[in-house]
Amino acid sequence: MDTEATTVSRYQVFPLIPLRGISVFPGMRLIFDVDREESLGALNAAMEGDQTLFLVAQRDPSADNVGGADDLFKIGTVSRVHQVLRVPGEEGAKVMVEGIDRGYMSRLAAAKPYLSAQVEVLQSETSPRGAVKAEALIRQCYGLLEKYAQGSGLELDDVLRDILGSSDAGYVADYVTQSIYMRYDQKQMVLEELRPMRRLALVNRLLRWELDILDMEHSIHEETAKNMKRAQREMFLREQLRTIQAELGEEESYTDDTEEYRAAVARAKLPKEVSAKLYKEIGRLAKQPFGSAEAAVIRTYLDICLEIPWERSTEDNLDTEAVRRALDADHFGLEKIKKRVLEYLAVRKLAPDQKGTILCLLGPPGTGKTSIALSIARAMGRKMCRISLGGIHDEAEIRGHRKTYVGAMPGRIMTGIQQAGSRNPVMVLDEIDKLGSDYRGDPSAALLEALDPEQNSQFRDHFLELPFDLSEVFFITTANTADTIPPALLDRMEVVEFAGYTDEEKLAIARDHLLPKQRKKHGLNGNQLRINDGAMREIIARYTRESGVRLLEQQIAAVCRKTAAGIVEGQFKSKYLRAGSLEEFLGPAKYRDQRTGGQAEVGLVHGLAWTRVGGEMLDAEVGVMDGSGKLELTGNLGDVMKESAHAAMSYIRAHAAELGVEPAFYKNKDIHIHFPEGAVPKDGPSAGVTICTGLVSALTGVPVRQDVAMTGEITLRGRVLPIGGLREKTMAALRAGIHTVIIPAENEPDLADIDPAVRAALNFITASRVETVLDAALCREDGHAED
Ligand code: ADP
């Protein structure tokens, strides 16, 4: 049963004031301004009458004039004016009104001089006492209103609380609507709802809607606040960081440098691909928060890329005459390599696009490999860079680490290019034979890619991530031995051998190059220090033993140092060193004179060995004593060498009678073969003839000529097989004062390669059988053979 009903009371004509954006509810008071002329007229009319008027909202609150009834809502409030406040000198007035009843405007009664309307006064029924539904709606309203108050900061004043204690749903609805923020059209809806319960239900709905909006506002507000906070925090931290950096003197890093980078990229002449990549990185840099690690990485990357000579190259000096003169001025001898460089230049003149020259300078230390490489760069007018490959295990050392690694950098190749500052330098790769390879990757594979003329025009460094053209680079590698160079690499290179110097060559090098160089280094002139050839020979023979001239240079440096010190201390004004006067500067000689002269000895044979550092004289000592047939080998020998000794023994047993050896020696004699300098490991088959000669000498008591040295492998049948390293071995023989060198017959063609000075100074005997060796080395004709 619907308990809500509307009773029609009476019609009345009231002066009318249109309201803009506000509404008045029955039982409520409202203060508002009256400005418009018509409204003031209506007010005056009301004041002259019973002080009641009709207040109704305009449909369009912004309209200044009301043209007709359609511009107004139909339902408004019949109200009583309580107070009118006029400010003297001003047109308008402030009025306080109280709503009495809702009213329905049936028509406009007049428009001039003020609006008046015929109004039907509506009296809404109050909700029935104790109605459960009304109570529920009121409680719901109370709950919503509390929440609304919390959310909006509205003061729920006592009056409002009292009202909520009322049981009249319509009244409560009106009061609440009047008290909270609501849009004017919503308020109008409430005003127009004449049934009290529906009215409150409507108000509750509107309240909930307002709460939702409040919630939404809240979360928006919170989000903004959070963002604001974060931004503020970052700003604050950045400010702090800047202060700290300023304290540390690092403040310039905060400048926004992306524009500078852009300008630098634009200035630098770069290939398209490179500049595109760099612009991209600059774009990334611009997005990095200040002080981020990533930004630092990008900056390093850009700095390095900008320093790489992508398009910069130098002009080659193709004047072969001038280059020849420059090379000769720096280095004595070394004809092979000098010629090779001149050929290279000649070919370049004819075919400028010729690419991919990789030389490998192979030889003992101190033979000038590195220094001639540098001199080649100078003579050709190229920039140069030097990379030491010794002990590199990691591929990344050659090709760089990817940018994502902490502290990543380009590899050595690109760093070298960067340092050289041109894309066609002479790149010296030192110690390519000492390149390692293990679980970290194979550096030789990366190196191969850099060296291979087929691939190196697009060499990619992991750090740079951009291809670089290495095809214009002149690669020169150096190595002491070819044995440990990865074969794939060795294949790509043209090997130029450096054999080591004879004493005469060393003398010339020392006199013409090393001494002047060291004198200059130590601030001495040619009068302050002179070393004559005799003294120089003594340094070479008694203070050094090497294939190259590295130690020789060190000794000369020591002499210069001490001379300089003596002059500064006033001990002398100048120094002239002759043979025999070196002890003062260099101390006692390190090597005794190996020249043993002609004194033949039983069981002592000079062998010749080849090592990484060049040729060496290697003596074999053989001792024979009564015993039970034991063979002892000492002196740090490798397996191959031990086997050579056994082969020699077998040969002698088989030919005992011819050799004049007691046939049962292998049963009743103990034999000891020893190679002095036990600390040095020795191996190889080429000591075969040496051991055999020592054994025969010891077993027969026939002495061995000490001015003879030998090298050669033997077979059980007494054949002499060829050996390697002849050039170095013969030099060592000459150094040791040997006159005659016995070599395998099959090595005879190699004699052509031997230094002419060495060839002239030595007497060569070629042997295809051991008997020839024994004939030459044993002093049988002396009559010792009868022993
Ligand atoms: P490597 O690289 O073969 O080990 P270096 O190039 O370091 O040897 O040479 C050692 C020193 O000997 C350098 O000072 C070098 O100038 C000098 N040197 C070597 N050979 C010659 C030569 N033929 N003429 C002049 N100086 C030489």
Q: Rg of the chain over CA atoms, in angstroms?
A: 56
**Residue found under tokens 């006033």:** 570
Residue located via tokens 């709460």: 211
Closest C-alpha to ligand 1, atom 5: 368
Distance CA 321, CA 345 (A): 11
Output the pLDDT for position 694.
94
> What are the φ/ψ torsions at residue 28 (nearest 5 degrees)?
-110, 155
- Supply the pLDDT for residue 127: 65
Amino acid at 316: D
DSSP string over 728-768: HHHHHHHHTT--EEEEEGGGGGGGGGS-HHHHHH-EEEEES
Spatial separation of the C-alpha atoms in residues 332 and 509, rounded to whole Å: 6
Report the nearest-CA residue for atom 6 of ligand 1.
Answer: 368
DSSP 582-606: -HHHH-S-SS-----TT--BTTEEE
Q: How far is the CA of 363 from the centre of ligand 1 (A)?
A: 11
Q: Note the pLDDT of residue 1.
A: 40
Q: What's the rounded Cα separation, in Å, for the pair 720 and 648?
A: 11
pLDDT for position 593? 58
Whether 79 lines ligand 1, by a CB cut-off of 6 Å, is no
Considering only CA atoms, which residue is closest to atom 24 of ligand 1?
331
10-residue averages of pLDDT along the chain (787 residues): 47 91 88 89 91 92 85 93 83 89 90 89 71 86 86 73 79 87 88 89 91 85 79 76 72 64 84 87 78 80 87 83 85 85 81 76 87 87 87 81 79 89 89 73 80 84 87 88 83 84 84 89 84 85 83 89 86 82 80 64 88 77 89 86 90 90 88 80 84 93 91 92 87 84 92 83 92 90 44
Give the Å distance between the CA of 540 and the centre of ligand 1.
15
- The ligand 1 atom at the shortest distance from the C-alpha of residue 430 is 2
- H or E stretch including 420? helix 412-420
Distance CA 462, CA 703 (A): 67
d(CA 459, CA 498): 31
Ligand 1: atom nearest CA of 334 is 23
CB-CB neighbours of 625 under 10 Å: 10
Confidence (pTM): 0.58
Whether 650 is in the pocket of ligand 1, judged by its Cβ within 6 Å, is no
Contact 276, 466 (CB under 8 A): no
Decide if 754 contacts 726 (C-beta within 8 A): yes
Atom of ligand 1 nearest to the CA of 513: 25
Ligand 1 center from residue 535 Cα (angstroms): 20
Please give the Cα distance from 759 to 757 (Å, whole number).
5
Q: Which residues share a beta bridge with 19?
A: 57
Spatial CA neighbour of 35 closest among 112, 96, 94, 92: 92
Decide: 370 in ligand 1 pocket, CB within 6 A: yes
H-run or E-run covering 163:
helix 158-165
Kindly state the tokens that stand for 687.
């000591």
CA distance 457 to 356: 10
Locate 132 and state its tokens: 């459960």
Q: In this structure, which residue's CA is closest to atom 10 in ligand 1? A: 366
The preferred substitution site among 513, 519, 556 for testing ligand 1, maximizing ligand atoms within 8 Å of CB, is 513
Regarding the beta carbon of 506 and ligand 1, being less than 6 Å apart is answered no
Q: Measured from the CB, is residue 333 less than 6 Å from ligand 1?
A: yes
Distance CA 768, CA 578 (A): 45
Ligand 1 mean position, distance from CA 380 (Å): 19
Ligand 1 atom closest to Cα of residue 549: 12
Which residues are bridge partners to 388 per DSSP?
430
Cα–Cα distance between 586 and 531 in angstroms, integer?
A: 13
Cis amide linkage into residue 113, ω under 30° from 0: yes
Q: How far is the CA of 547 from the centre of ligand 1 (A)?
A: 11
Q: State the DSSP code for 682.
A: B
The finding on whether 623 has its CB within 6 A of some atom of ligand 1 is: no
Residues with a known catalytic role: 686, 729
Q: Which atom of ligand 1 is nearest to the CA of 361?
A: 3
